[in-house]
């Protein structure tokens, strides 16, 4: 069972990115996870593969937000320069994590792959597909650790095994949305 904490995982479910950003001290009480009654929490879904353009990178937990924002700027600049339009929200695909950092793909979906292969660090690929659980986070990026703690508890309670992958899909713009108004769909692919 993966544990969504900033420690090595039994199934290394990627330190779940943002948990590491603000781990409450033992004396602090954890805040309630802010959701709306219409938000799915553990809703089973099937991810359809989509063509994506992405840039791979690595980051440390203390600078995760800035690292991701900069990566998305590079992918967006490529789209603008190539005359391509996004066919969905930006997403971070976390591919591995450890105590100090993470590896990721900052991806933007397209309706079809670009006709000409991009040069440099930008790559073309496909988004993850298959059975997954959908969770919604509302609030600051730093507060996502509470959402991931709730996801860990949910998986444990249901006895579900997750893949070594995690996807954050940004309903609001990660770089420009007011911090308290961030909305992120978190997809946890299942084995």
Q: Which residue has the higher pLDDT, 123 or 40?
A: 123
Q: CA 132, CA 57: separation in Å to the nearest integer?
A: 24
Contact present, 46 and 165 (Cβ < 8 Å): no
pLDDT given for residue 10 in this prediction: 34
Contact present, 93 and 13 (Cβ < 8 Å): no
Beta-carbon contacts of 70 under 8 Å, excluding residues fewer than 6 positions away, are none
Q: What is the pTM of this model?
A: 0.80
pLDDT given for residue 34 in this prediction: 54
**What CATH number has the domain spanning 14-23+36-189?**
3.20.80.10
pLDDT given for residue 97 in this prediction: 76
As a whole number, the mean pLDDT across the chain is: 83
Lowest mean pLDDT among 40-54, 74-88, 141-155: 141-155
Report domain extents, the chain.
14-23+36-189
Contact present, 163 and 190 (Cβ < 8 Å): yes
Lowest mean pLDDT among 34-43, 48-57, 128-137, 180-189: 34-43
- Identify the three-state secondary structure at position 45: strand
**Per-residue pLDDT for 132 more than 90?**
yes
- Identify the three-state secondary structure at position 86: coil
């Amino acid at each position: 069972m993966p544990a969504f904490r900033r420690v090595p995982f039994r199934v290394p479910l990627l330190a779940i990115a943002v948990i590491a950003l603000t781990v409450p001290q033992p004396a602090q009480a954890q805040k309630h996870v802010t959701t709306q009654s219409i938000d799915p929490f553990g809703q089973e879904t099937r991810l359809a593969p989509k063509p994506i353009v992405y840039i791979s990178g690595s980051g440390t937990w203390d600078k995760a937000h800035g690292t991701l924002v900069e990566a998305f700027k590079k992918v967006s600049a490529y789209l603008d320069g190539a005359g391509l339009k996004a066919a969905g929200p930006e997403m971070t695909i976390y591919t591995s994590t450890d105590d100090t950092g993470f590896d990721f793909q900052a991806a933007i979906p397209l309706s079809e792959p670009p006709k000409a292969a991009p040069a440099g660090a930008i790559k073309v690929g496909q988004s993850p597909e298959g059975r997954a659980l959908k969770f919604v986070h509302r609030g600051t990026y730093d507060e996502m650790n509470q959402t991931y703690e709730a996801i860990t508890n949910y998986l444990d309670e249901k006895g579900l095994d997750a893949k070594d992958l995690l996807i954050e899909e940004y309903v609001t713009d990660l770089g420009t949305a007011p911090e308290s108004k961030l909305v992120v769909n978190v997809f946890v692919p299942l084995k």
